Structure 1
């Protein structure tokens, strides 16, 4: 029953949903505070009456609960620990519309600025930024972030990454998972953590999700590999975990029960006397977390504000809340009037096995400062929600009634019937469509659009289109929306806009493409937005990126990612004046096991080696697989480099233990080379090469051991030097020759092109390309050699066209990044074309993805200049580099060569098939000719045909041969009534169409 002459205070608390573990604890803490205020005679002549509703940990349920508290039960202020997605909804849809105060005490990323919104939680600059500094100093510079897919985790991680970079740290991983975790999401996260080489894991999950992550982390054995530091771990969570799961977990927050200040001791004394409490945690069940203490603080702050202004009237109360300054269980808490966020002390603690928190560091209170993510102030949330009908204050209640909605009525004209028909067609379209007026209010949205954003169609009609984007992007979207309205452009297609981020009703993020069109109606501008969810495409891109940086068999980082990590480590070693070590590990006897027991046994052995290496290394060390049976370990922050010998010996002992593989037992050992370097004196490649040399020295000394790099190992370096010195003379000595590998029509198997490959035959004997080409690129010798190769390609094209006319095979030639960067490269190729009389339209330049990763504007300019000469551009080994798929749309590329690594396991491996299918789909969508490399079996050829590849290349189609043999092959194909090598029985109509497409695509000019 309502109390007479009381102030009704509404409490939103999570009694259900992901944060429900805090519900009862918050209710008890608020009840403590209300009882304390009322025991002192109330404030400003009124007692506090507490009314509570379950927020459900979701936006929709939180809004319903808030409306009940305000409109039904008559509360004049709310407090609550809402998740950020629910917090935005409640403030925007309820509190801002009514002008009532909302006191927040949950984690705050800084995205809300409303007249009546007050935050009693720490902002990132107060909590996360000092934490990143301490993490780097205490645990190491490499941090892995993960969180739920909504604004608080994303905003917090964004701030953490910025702060980490300022202190010389490195983000080595970042993942976002759905709110409300299930068991299937956690194994992939734990695997990514295991192989990340992180020093610290920082999770941003709420409630039960955080508990699941902490349990999985402990059960995966990762506590021995890295520190776990959370901004969301407290006594309540600790009480839900086993001792071995919670012990050693670090937490950074504004409150812990172990704080010794008098205000905290007074609150705990009240808690100890509370009905039903058996004693204080961890000996009893009486506990208060950061959330409970925050709720207690909000009640005391509200009481102080009312006492200061001697009024409970809303306007006076809000003004007084801006001046709050009190001693609380957290320490001294002061409200900043400008931002309406408090200054509060932050503490770093470590949880013990019993669930107690030992304070190990203290960050003094700082003035609140909104993160860079929200530097542009977003428009008030009230402007992003269609205004509700005018709210009438109940008799005797104070408040600010809202004006009538300014939104225009639905347009009516002579075209009403036609528009109705169009609206019906739109409503049933599969494509999500939203129509707005010139202010961005949604006039119509079809079912597909409503379903995409998680609303009903009716709910969509009460929204601004800007509210369909995350809070930190809304201000920018308002500006872009208005710029489009004011500009001459009538239509902007999806291909002309970058990807955007959608914001669902539940607060989750997802990637979108959108096109927008505008047209005039009687009552002003109307806009139609067509949307496409590109989540699947982004997942495919992420999978391609992962495969470009990781070894698919062992899940370890590959050479590219390891080299990047090594370079970053050397940069840090310069700043910290600490050494870096690389251990190069090569398995002894692996080839014999692989040959004797088969590749499957070999693969299982490599996976077991990866696991054992992971269990041997120190926290923060990176384990990677370079190739075959070669592994490397990166060790940072070495104060005594000699200690690495202990690690090397531990690895030797672990790897020589027998391995049981599907009924057989095998043994291997390892030869380990160790190189120690410093960022002031060494480059990444030097250290890696030194470790490689030391590894070979360990093999020569009998294997199953380790050896440090020293000057005596320079003999191998001298061999490489001989190669480097011989390369510039190779052309003059006529030691270089070219061979040709056939490229065939995917449907007929007829030779329609060739890739020109380089071979070197010095007097001492042939040197394999994988030995001399990297050295040629490193030394710069590849520039003149590459120009000579291009001239041979031109001469071949001219000869072949003279023999076979327009039916002659095309010629492909590789171009390295070093060549592309060389001054005058385009003009040199132009001169060769002119001198040889080669037809540029029949010549293809193949560039690897890595060659396209330098300055993008410069690359685009050079490739367009090459395309203007008539040359066609191919991306070679596609999928193995770092390139973003969207870059392809800027490049004048006409051919995509699918890397052999995606084809090697087709069709046996579903993941490889999926990636190959994604690459083919991308190529088709961009209108590119598709070439499958490394085709070695009939099954692979058939699968590539089914996917829609136009051409095939590999040993099945033909090995590299000299020009005479290649020309004989072409003649044989021309004489044959039907090529037999790859042809199938009878071609279907679709196959004939594909063949015709191949002919047109192969000779299609590319616009510069």
Structure 2
């Protein structure tokens, strides 16, 4: 019988006995057993090439080579197919194992016949002669590439998980059910302000009470995790190590044992403080006024709807109060918007401090506010509250520019008495507020059916006023101004009148404020200026002695950039010399925007127009400004002149104004003169000019000529 491929070569093969059938069967069984092993059984020499003397049939599966290729290094030696980087290590491990234990095992790589690198595991023992010298090595080599790759994949996965755990931006944790940390990554430590995960785990022993600002959040977290198996986006406020409060969002799951009991929680934590702050800013901008911090129009509407539903449910009244600051425009335009803003903030705080926490104070814009006062039983309770508010608002307000007494006008509409919808209640409260303005300001008015009729009348008046110019319904009346000593006419004040029809005349006190509010005062004022200049020029052309005609200019007109140009054009068109026109401005209007007005007054002065300061004594004059104004006359307000005969204070004020005017080189005009007693007082104090009913009432142009000019 010839030897098989896995047997020793013929000249090296030991003698095999075939004497009995039993020995043959034993050899067959041995070959079968070795051939079925998962791997290669071998015997090799102890030389540099690991020369193989015997290899089993598993050699092809293991190396890709046939036994004949490998036996006695016919085609390739086992040393050659051992991966070069592993050869020295393998030899060292084999000898070390043989010396220590008489056997060895090691893992290394081989180069398969296909060129593929494979991992193998080898276990072997040494064969020694009678002298103890190593003669050969016998053993088993198995392919462990799959196991090795799995192990490497597992280690790689562990490495990646570790890197992810250690380097994650989000905090990662594992906690016990009783609130202790089992694991934490560096990110979680940073979020909570600890130097390391170890410090966090050591110090946070009671998550419920040490971490959460609201300890009940821990119970909510565990309940959700247990019932749902996980929680997502669970937002809470927590304490950092320093005591600082931050917002976090947790995503976590409950880990159950085989019995269905929660053994721990694991998940992630994200610091969302910046997002929360941003959301708060967005919400603040969406629902709150940026200047005052009060509710804005949008939030007011929501609160008003809620208030209506609540009042309907509990059978109470809801008071909707419209608040408007009185004469705010003079301060805002006169002293500057920065001062106006400070005033609005101060008034907003006064309103807020006057109501309960459950009520609402909103700012609609400008100086308009709305109050929602819940749970009221009737008008009397609301009236008491508003009385306190009026008092609070009216307290002096101090600013670097001086102390100011600011008042407000309020209008009240009650739900359900005055309306069932938010729009209706706001409309009626607004109308009631305008009624308070008409009643003299610094008061409140409740909405009534009578008021509704008045508002309707007001709207009708506005509509008629818008068409008055084109329908030529305006006319001018003139009131004389006389010299104290000579009693000769030195000038006349042009006063507007409105005749809607031959039967219907509307007094200036009725329509001028409306014209101011709706912006018609500018075109009306321009008409007055042109008509007065034309009339004065007509009197001069008729041969009458020339004198000055005064025209009142509103603050709104004066703020027009082209006012000086407009006056120059009117003078040019009418042919009137500038020195025969006088522009009258109220003291309070000029003083509230003194720096701006100084330049414009200078331009008017350069034009040759005379300038008078009207209603002097009622405003907030500053001598530092007054001496810089190119003013020709001070007109003492009629309210001081009226009682100079028997009111010591008024007499003192008038004397002071006259002295002040003369010291500044100005002429002083007393308005509202009606009695000889007043004239005697004014003469005694050297007043320059007089104007009032004592000398004549305002008359149309032609009647004025016949009465005063001859």
Query: What TM-score, normalized by structure 2, do the two folds share?
Result: 0.42
Greater strand fraction, Structure 1 or Structure 2: 2
Relative contact order (alpha carbons < 8 A, sep ≥ 6): 1 or 2 greater? Answer: 1
